[in-house]
């Protein structure tokens, strides 16, 4: 049978892969003892203990809107004269298992390119267990004290504080980024 020659780099790569695979399943350490009877006639025993620790991942989940590949997008129609714009509801859900708790905050990451500001876009709370971090999209009041292993949810209604003043027509957008973090 012909012998296959490996290049030194291939051998080093194979050795590195083999070592990394053994790192995934490290050997456990435990104490040991030996039972011994010199005459060989009595009973003997030995015992050892092992401490088993399970590492549980810390998880936070935040969902705005319905599941899908696109970010949540709401459209407020302010084009009806003499009538306030109708609000648009957005489903909000948060779950975590952090022992030290989490905080929900938000901030405008892209401001309106218009005379509208984050103060003009109010957010009404639907009465659920996940309050919005402030009365508008300026988001000045982070939410904390949310119990772990509980699905917190709410429907937030986004609306304009008042009909916008006449100006240039067209669509303008603001992007608000919501962030859940644990200390």
What's residue 11's pLDDT? 42
pLDDT value at residue 107? 95
- Calpha distance 25→157 (Å, rounded): 50
Look at residue 82 and tell me if it is in a domain.
Answer: yes
- Note down the domain range covering 136: 60-181
pLDDT of residue 68: 76
Burial class of residue 52 (count of CB atoms within 10 Å of its CB; 0-12, 13-18, 19+) = exposed
134 belongs to a structural domain: yes
103: which strand partners? Answer: 181
Q: What is the pLDDT of residue 1?
A: 46
- Which pLDDT value is given to residue 146? 95
- Please count the structural domains in the chain: 1
Burial 55-86 (b: 16+ CB within 10 A, else e): eeeeebebebeeeeeeeeeeeeebeeeeeebe
Is residue 34 domain-resident?
no
Q: What is the CATH number of the domain that holds 156?
A: 2.60.40
The two beta strands, 103-110 and 175-181, are antiparallel
Could you tell me if residue 93 is inside a domain? yes
Consecutive 10-residue runs of the chain (183 residues): their mean pLDDT? Answer: 48 49 62 86 89 92 86 79 75 95 95 85 94 95 95 95 68 92 89
């Amino acid at each position: 049978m012909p012998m296959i020659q490996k290049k030194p780099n291939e051998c080093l790569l194979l050795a590195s892969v083999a070592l990394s695979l053994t790192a995934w399943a490290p050997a456990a350490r435990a104490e040991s003892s030996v039972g011994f009877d010199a005459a060989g006639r009595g009973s003997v025993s030995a015992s050892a203990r092992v401490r088993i620790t399970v590492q549980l991942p810390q998880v936070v989940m935040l969902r705005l809107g319905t599941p899908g590949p696109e970010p949540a997008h709401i459209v407020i129609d302010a084009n009806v004269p003499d009538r306030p714009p109708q609000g648009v509801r957005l489903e909000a859900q948060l779950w975590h298992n952090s022992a030290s708790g989490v905080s929900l905050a938000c901030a405008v990451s892209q401001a309106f390119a218009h005379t509208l500001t984050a103060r003009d876009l109010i957010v009404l709370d639907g009465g659920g267990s996940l309050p919005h971090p402030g009365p508008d999209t300026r988001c000045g009041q982070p939410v904390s004290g949310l119990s772990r292993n509980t699905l917190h949810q709410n429907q937030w209604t986004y609306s304009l504080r008042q009909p916008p003043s006449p100006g240039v027509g067209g669509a303008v957008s603001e992007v608000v980024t919501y962030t859940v973090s644990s200390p």
